[in-house]
Amino acid sequence: MFDVLVFLYENYWRPDACPDHDQLSKKLTAVGFESEEIEDALSWLDGLADVAESHTGAQSERAMRVYSPAEQDHLGVGSIAFISFLESAGVLPPAMREIVVDRAMATPGAPLPLEDLKIIVLMVFWSLGEEPDALILDELFVDAEDRLIH
């Protein structure tokens, strides 16, 4: 599923640039993705669109997020820490954070690998038509072990 999401992010500059689900499924199949993987990704994207539509920026910027035990188990310490890092850096406002958490909880497997969470964050920005800051893009794309320390 995550490979399909990355493909969409890299090939369509915004969600409304994507063809309808039938055409997109055919294109993704032609590129080599499995039908189950395509179906999972498109279903996940439908959920993203629904959640993004229902969340408004009405939450206080000073609100503190307490994760439920189920969220803690599913997200894992690394993912929760990364979400907190993005919040403290000022790039993930509370409404977007809630979309990220919702979509992360909609993925199978626990704990969620940090690399998968990073893709979810990218897809949330993408779905809202926002481009993350260049430093945040670097954080989302470059693995820690691949970084050069100057």
pLDDT digits (tens, 9 = 90+) for 102-145: 999 999 888 999 999 999 999 999 888 887 776 676 666 655 45
For 109-137, give one letter per residue: b (16+ CB within 10 A) or e.
eebbebebbbbbbbbbbbbeeeebeeebe
| Token code pair at residue 139 | 């954080």
Tally of domains within the chain: 1
Residue 51 lies in domain: 2-146
This prediction has a pTM of: 0.81
Cβ pair 1, 118 in contact under 8 A: no
For 56-67, the pLDDT digits (tens) are: 555 556 667 899
